[in-house]
Structure 1
Amino acid sequence: MPKETEKRIRDPVSDFFYPEEWSGKCSSTEDLRLVTDGLAVLTSDGNILMRGFTTGSTAAAACKAAVLSLKKSGIDFVNIRTASGIRVDVKASGKSGTGRSAKYSGDYKDDITSGILFIAKATENREGTEFIAGEGIGRFSRDTPRYQKGTPAISNSSMKTILDAINEALYETDIPNVTVNLSIPKGEETGRKTLNPKVGVEGGISVLGSTGFVEPWDDHLSESVFDRIMCADGVVITTGRIGLRFSRMLFPDYETVLVGKYMERAISVAKGDIILCGLPALILKFIDPDILSGTPYLTVEEMTSDPEWKIRAEKSISRYIKGHNEVRVVIINRNGDIEIDSERFKTKGETGL
């Protein structure tokens, strides 16, 4: 680790080292502890914003409480391992095999799923441990590159968090096997208010969470994010957690900043080299809002199942960089492999694609 970062506070979720100036403005030891534990983010004015827990973490907490309550009483919280590997205590209740947990969204006040209740019911069985996605959990209405029609809308990282929580509870209670049925009573109603209908998920909400945490600025990014961009000599702007992870590996000499859908503002305040790197969906829709026009696809992810998708994407990227020579666009897949790199257009003179 470079000497200049040894005394700086590290965010264990994003792996960002906060400038000493920021932590120096924070007078609360307890606030700084929340930051180092990953439960809060530090802003440039020395204040903190609390992270919340994703639907995946909330689901896992309800399931663990349900299994624990088969043998224990007085449960008011459970400890789970989030998708990012950080252990946290999540409020949950459990009684006679039924576990409940309400989604806590921290300082992200515009979260549509904030407060939504997850209910898990656990029963012992002799056949083997089984998890059932019940009422209120959305299901895919059509095949996608990653999920088949009828599959519950539960991300792989969230499913692992849920199953790990159930297995931990089995170990703690010495119960050999259980069946756990998870439901979200207001899931279908809430799901209609989300983007699920547009991406082909019906009947409920999605259970997601690549880190297990809800960032406090998903729809209203803290000014501290843009402060980081403005202070960087070279910056990688990315849209999600997968992009954040692999961008750091691909471009270790750059400051990597997660901005979600706020790419335009991030690019406008950046200085020096700018790399826009991440999965195709948000980036291609930002570069070319009409990229799906004339195709049979409803989402960019569906479009990437077409063998010819790169041709369409490269044409859109080529048009974009003609007017934004300062931006390098790098599209990766979920394994971190580079699918498209606009640097190739410049070095080969392919801007006329």
Structure 2
Amino acid sequence: MILVFGGTTEGRKAAEVLEESGSPFFYSTKTGEQELSLHHGQRIDGALDAAAMKAFCMENDIRLIVDAAHPFASMLHQTIAQVAQQLDLSVVRFERIYPPRQEDIVWIDDYAELPSILPPHSSLLATTGVQSISKLKPLEVNKGIKVYYRILERESSIASALKQGATKEQLCYYTNPKDIPVKAEAILLKESGTTGGFAEKVEAAKAQGMRIIALKRPAMPAMFITVNGPYGLRRTVEKLLPEFFPLHSGLTTGTCATAATVAAIIQLREEAQPTQLPLPTEVPVELPNGETIMVPIGYGDGYAYCKKEAGDDPDVTNGIEVRAYAKTNPEVLPSGEVGGRPFLHVGAWEIVAGEGIGHFTVPGFDYPPGEPAINKGPREMLRRNLAHPLLRGGNPFELHGLTEISPLPSGGAGGRLLLSIPNGAEIARKTFNPRLGIEGGISIIGVSGIVKPFSEEAFIGSIRKCMVVAKASGTCRVVINSGGKSERFVKALYPTLPQQAFVEYGNYIGETLKIASELNIPRITLGVMLGKAVKLAAGHLDTHSKKATMDLQFIAQMLKEANISIDLNGITLARELWERIPANQLKDFTQTVIGHCRKHCAPLLPKGELTILLIDDNGQIFGNS
């Protein structure tokens, strides 16, 4: 059993991750005021001292603790560490993502430093929470400073503020992090990270010309295993408590290529500037969502590698080595492997694709024919990670303690990075790449950087669980979509719906609609992108490429119905239609596609209201018919 300490945005995210498992867990908050819908999790509310926490863990067979509480809840963090040590439990700290500390902000370690910083009879807006009022009252008494307290507008917070001596005139309330409710000469912030709106508060204060003072986040107990996002949490739970998730996640080839590249540069640094420190066996990789995960790597003769992990997702690329060679002198790279001109420049580094990496031979992909088959997501991952301070001479990955690794300077002559995949061409023949127009090797892909496990029975089971949770949340509508990209676009149309109202169907549109009908969900919005939409319109309620392919004859039929005449020769991907169909005829085409989709979907939801939205690659939405 897992015990989560939440009450924060991170706590909510942790609960969402653990709900995916279908396994029971406990979710603890101090006040019970956080709104949260749980299906498999059991909520407990009220503060726990060390004795109560230890007793609860022993009575409920707690085997892992997830600390997702506020970063400034120091007493709770220490209590968790104390109990975990006594019971020999691991603790995963779900940390926030923090922007770099700006030099034009005054950083302090403790409230006691404020009297020496603030001049007498000045004014201060404190956004450090209701519990800090008693610590700030001496500024008023001893230095005549006018302090305003920005707190949450709820009865318990207001009562606590008044009890600590604040007046109603001194209180102002949270609405938006960018709002500055009162004019003051200085503002006091907590280093609350991205989810705490720290950057927005700083920006708003600067716009008002306020002096900014920030209280540094306290250090966490050394025993905590730190993650800073949902994927890192899931992978850590899979490692520490393997049975909790019935299926385990994996890594995309894009993440593997990035990890190998980071490791290759560290290896090159060690060759050029020996430190006698052992090379790391895992390196940090920043994923597209901003979180950082640790990825296992290894080293060969002049190169670093990362082995592809498919997790429990059936994948012929499982176990392949993605290699990276980093050289300041490109002439010493392995002969015969250099894949032509660089496809990416980052600072003084140029990256080329070599053996075993395919190339595009037809239009319709992120890049034109002739380019290496490395999609936009992995290229951006490479760019962001190579530009990270660890590899260019600044602040290293503090989160993961790699502070002892000296980076290579990014200036000077620079160098070349070569990516390669041994036996990639042979492996690619077992994939759909040849049919898609990718030749010579496998493709480097991945939108999120993480592969969620796929099995038909388990995936449909997880959809059912998510639909049950969605209904339990009390939402008036459930929005089903194919994945993160389409969900991001559709979410903008429904800003008031809770997170639980958005459910991924993957490829199982038909099964998802059947589940919605069984659960008597009254309103369903189906968000679908064109590749799946043309399959759905043809009657394929499971759009997986193993079961359904794009039917050009049926597309031609739909174009004829919409009175559109275009040449379909050479089309290999449905999204190419967005460019070929004249803009003034897109509405007619999309309505025709949606009409065919509705014909197959509506009978599966006989008592519900169905809205179908067709989404293009740029997020433009058609439909609502």
Q: Size of the alignment, in residue pairs? A: 337
**Contact 1:189-1:204 within 8 A present in 2 as well:** yes
RMSD over aligned Cα atoms: 3.4
* Contact 2:510 2:601 (C-alpha < 8 Å) held by counterparts: no
Query: Take 1:123 and 1:226, find their aligned partners in 2: how far apart are those partners?
Result: 50
In the TM superposition, residue 13 of structure 1 has moved relative to its aligned partner by 9.4
- Distance in 2, Cα, partners of 1:81 & 1:29: 25
For residues 225-274 of structure 1, the C-alpha deviation after alignment (integer angstroms, 9 at most, x for no partner) is 22212443421111122112222222232611122111111111112211
Which residue of 1 is the match for residue 70 of structure 2?
A: none
Find the counterpart in structure 1 of residue 231 from structure 2.
38
The gaps in structure 2 that reach 5 residues or longer are: 1-5, 21-35, 43-59, 68-91, 95-228, 271-277, 331-346, 394-405, 472-476, 541-549, 557-567, 603-608
Structure 1 position 225 matched with structure 2 position 225: no
Q: Structure 1, residues 282-320: CA drift from partner, whole Å, max 9, x if none? A: 133122256521443232122332115844443232133
Q: Secondary structure at 1:106's aligned position in 2?
A: coil
Given the alignment of the two structures, is residue 327 of structure 1 paired with residue 610 of structure 2, yes or no? yes
The question of whether the paired residues in 2 share the 8 Å contact of 1:11 and 1:38 is answered with: no
Partners of 1:104 and 1:31 lie apart in 2 by 25
Counterpart residue number, 1:65 = 263
- Is 1:117–2:321 an aligned residue pair? yes
1:34, distance to aligned residue in structure 2 (A) = 8.9
What amino acid maps onto 1:336 in structure 2?
G
Tell me the amino acid that sits aligned with residue 117 of structure 1. Answer: E
Task: Using the aligned pairs only, state the percent identity.
Answer: 26
Whether the 8 Å CA contact 2:349–2:415 is kept in 1: the answer is yes
Residues in 1 aligned to 2:612 and 2:451: alpha-carbon distance in whole angstroms: 27
Cα distance in 1 for residues equivalent to 2:532 and 2:450: 20
1:47 matched to which residue of 2?
A: 244
1:177-206 CA distance string (max 9 Å, x none): 221000011221222222222221111111
Question: What is the SS of the residue equivalent to 2:488?
Answer: helix
SS at match of 1:305: helix
Q: Which residue of 1 aligns with 2:292?
A: 87
Note the 1:125-144 alignment, pairs <5 A.
125=329, 128-144=348-364
Cα distance between partner residues in 2 of 1:304 and 1:336: 12
Q: Give the TM-score, by structure 2 length.
A: 0.49
CA distance in 2 between counterparts of 1:159 and 1:12 reads 31
TM-score, normalised on structure 1?
Answer: 0.83
Structure-1 residue corresponding to 2:378: 158
Q: Separation in 2 of the partners of 1:304 and 1:216?
A: 31
Distance 1:317 1:26 in 2: 51
Q: Name the aligned partner's letter for residue 134 of structure 1.
A: G
What is residue 490 of structure 2 aligned with on the other side? 247
Tell me the CA shift for residue 6 of structure 1: 6.5
Structure with the larger RCO, 1 or 2 (CA within 8 Å, 6+ apart): 1
Larger radius of gyration: 2
Paired residue type of 1:87: T
Q: Which residue of 2 aligns with 1:260?
A: 506
* Amino acid corresponding to residue 370 of structure 2 in structure 1: G
Using the TM superposition, give the Cα deviation of residue 278 of structure 1 relative to its aligned residue in structure 2, in angstroms: 3.3
The answer as to whether partners of 2:470 and 2:502 remain within 8 angstroms in 1 is no
CA 1:323–1:101: 2 relative to 1, 3 Å: closer
Q: What secondary structure sits across from 2:256 in the alignment? A: helix
Q: How does 1:194-205 map to 2 (within 5 A)?
A: 194-205=431-442
Q: Distance in 1 between matches of 2:306 and 2:265?
A: 13
Note the residue ranges of structure 1 that are not aligned, 5 or more in a row: 344-353
What is aligned with 1:147? 367
